[in-house]
Structure 1
């Protein structure tokens, strides 16, 4: 699975998402900022993103996916 496909799937679910991705082969780290995460807890956010890749995770085509999902307000609050 490549980075472009991962970003495409995330944006299909969260069209407003700003996605930063790092990694290669079958190990990736995603930083996603989307208003769609408002009102969701951390676990719910991660589960919703992981669900987009359940088949690839099950088959091993995608081995590891680290997810950091935030709302735009949470991201802005981190800025110095």
Structure 2
């Protein structure tokens, strides 16, 4: 998969989020900033992001995704 394709999947699944993705084609790291994370536990934040790429992980197209989640307030801190 391409880096931008992974980023776009996350953006589509979490509208209004800011997404930065790096990686090597099968292993990716994503930093996602979204209002949707406000008040959620860390595991729920991770699940929200993973749900956006669930089909690609199931098919093997996306092998691994490491995620860092932040609210806009956390990013500014």
How many residue pairs match? The answer is 77
Q: Give the greater-gyration-radius structure (CA).
A: 1
* Structure 1 runs not aligned, ≥5 long: none
1:61 aligns with 2:61: yes
Counterpart position of 1:7: 7
Q: Once the two structures are superposed, what CA deviation does each residue of 1:19-41 show, in whole Å capped at 9, x if it has no partner?
A: 11110211100001111111111
* TM-score for the superposition, normalised by structure 2: 0.88
- In the TM superposition, what are the counterparts of 1:16-55 in structure 2 within 5 Å? 16-55=16-55
Kindly report structure 1 stretches of 4+ aligned residues shifted beyond 3 Å. none
- Post-superposition shift, 1:56? 1.6
